[in-house]
């Protein structure tokens, strides 16, 4: 009797197949290239310029070199040998601290303000012009102003994360609150539920899925922006690590950092995905 694979098993096999294809293409693309030197070229000059009959290795890292870097970096992630030589665990910890700091500050501002906007047409009309004016501005455009006023690189990065996290949470919270079913609000009004109890027992549970969606979007943007922000401010963090390794012409470490950025971003997104499922409700 044949065992039928489930959808998740088929998806897993397809993902492994795609990974195998990617690694194969990567390996083929980084094979050494044969460089033949013309007869009238001085052999010493050709050797100096990387020519000769020998096969020259590609400057782009191979999968084997990448695997070795992964092992070296992840086996000792928290070493600290000075300002420009810290383990990837320390760099990611600095970046996560900044992201979470700015993100939670944005939540403290955006969620109550979103409740006010969603509950009141007057508040919406008063605040909407400012939201539409500030929302399109790139978060990194605030960096020079933050550095000038705050005068601290790490705090400036947190401020940039705060700005980029604010708008998705604010808009989604207002949308979720404004679209709470009218009959639920009518029942709470009939039962003379006080405003605070209505906010926590009626509106918040109904709007929670939309609020979590806004928070999920904000976290994705925050993790995206912190890399660019740390490239500008320097010092510590995964963004600074990428820039520093690029200056050292270490493409293998740059690729390693890109992989770590993707893994951490996926983990953060998964956390909000699980939370979103927990607050989802069936009508």
Q: Give the tens place of pLDDT for each residue, 178-227.
A: 888 888 877 888 887 788 888 888 888 888 999 999 999 999 999 999 99
In a domain, 229, yes or no: yes
Q: Does residue 196 fall inside a structural domain?
A: yes
Residue 224 lies in a domain: yes
Q: Is residue 17 part of a domain?
A: no
Question: What span, in angstroms and rounded, lies between the C-alpha atoms of 228 and 99?
Answer: 12
H/E stretch holding 29 reads helix 7-29
164 occurs within a structural domain: yes
Instruction: Kindly report the backbone phi and psi dihedral angles of residue 86, in degrees, each rounded to the nearest multiple of 5, phi listed first.
Output: -120, 150
Name the residue range of residue 107's domain: 88-276
Distance CA 163, CA 183 (A): 35
Domain-embedded: residue 45: no
- d(CA 33, CA 212) in angstroms, rounded, equals 51
Burial of 166 (0-12, 13-18, 19+ CB in 10 A): buried
Task: Tell me what pLDDT residue 1 has.
Answer: 54
Model confidence band, residue 41 (pLDDT cutoffs 50, 70, 90)? low
CA distances from 148 to 72, 77, 141, 144, 228 (A): 39, 34, 13, 6, 18
Residue with tokens 């960096």: 143
How many domains, the chain? Answer: 1
pLDDT band at 2 (very low <50, low <70, confident <90, very high): low
Length of the chain equals 283
Choice between 17 and 2, residue whose per-residue pLDDT is larger: 17
162 within domain boundaries: yes
CATH of the domain at 183: 1.10.3720.10
Measure the CA–CA gap between 160 and 167, rounded to whole angstroms.
12
CB atoms within 10 A of CB 93: 17
What is the value of pTM for the model shown?
A: 0.82
Give CA–CA dist 278/275, Å, rounded: 5
**Using alpha carbons only, what angle is made at residue 101 by residues 154 and 172, rounded to the nearest 5 degrees?**
130
- For residue 64, is pLDDT > 90? no
Give which of 139, 105, 137 is closest to 228, Cα–Cα: 139
Whether residue 279 is predicted with pLDDT greater than 60 in this model: the reply is: yes
**Can you tell me the distance from the alpha carbon of 216 to that of 231, in angstroms, rounded to the nearest whole number?**
24
Chain segment 120-149, per-residue pLDDT in tens: 888 888 888 898 898 888 888 998 898 899
Tokens representing 111? 């969620």
Mean pLDDT score of the chain, rounded to an integer?
84
């Amino acid at each position: 009797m044949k065992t039928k694979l489930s959808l998740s098993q088929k998806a897993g096999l397809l993902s492994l197949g795609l990974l195998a294809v990617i690694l194969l293409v990567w390996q083929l693309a980084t094979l050494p290239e044969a460089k033949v030197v013309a007869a009238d070229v001085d052999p010493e000059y050709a050797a100096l310029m990387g020519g000769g009959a020998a096969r020259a290795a590609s400057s782009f890292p191979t999968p084997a070199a990448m695997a070795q870097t992964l092992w070296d970096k992840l086996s000792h992630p928290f070493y600290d040998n000075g300002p420009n030589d810290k383990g990837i665990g320390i760099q990611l910890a600095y970046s996560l601290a900044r992201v979470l700091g700015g993100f939670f500050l944005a939540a403290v501002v955006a969620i109550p303000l979103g409740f006010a906007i969603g509950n009141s047409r007057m508040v919406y009309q008063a605040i909407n012009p400012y939201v539409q004016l500030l929302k399109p501005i790139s978060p990194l455009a605030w960096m020079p102003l933050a550095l000038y006023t705050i005068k601290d690189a790490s705090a400036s990065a947190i401020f940039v994360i705060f700005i980029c996290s604010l708008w998705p949470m604010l808009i989604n919270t207002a949308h979720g609150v404004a679209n709470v079913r009218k009959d639920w609000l009518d029942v709470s009004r009939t039962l003379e539920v006080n405003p605070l109890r209505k906010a926590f027992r009626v509106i918040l549970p109904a709007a929670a899925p939309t609020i979590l969606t806004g928070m999920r979007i904000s976290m994705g943007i925050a993790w995206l922006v912190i890399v660019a922000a740390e490239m500008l401010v320097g010092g510590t963090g995964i963004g600074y690590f990428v820039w520093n390794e690029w200056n050292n012409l270490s493409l293998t470490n740059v690729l390693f950092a890109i992989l770590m950025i993707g893994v951490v971003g996926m983990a953060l997104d998964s956390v909000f995905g699980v939370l979103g499922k927990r607050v989802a409700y069936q009508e």
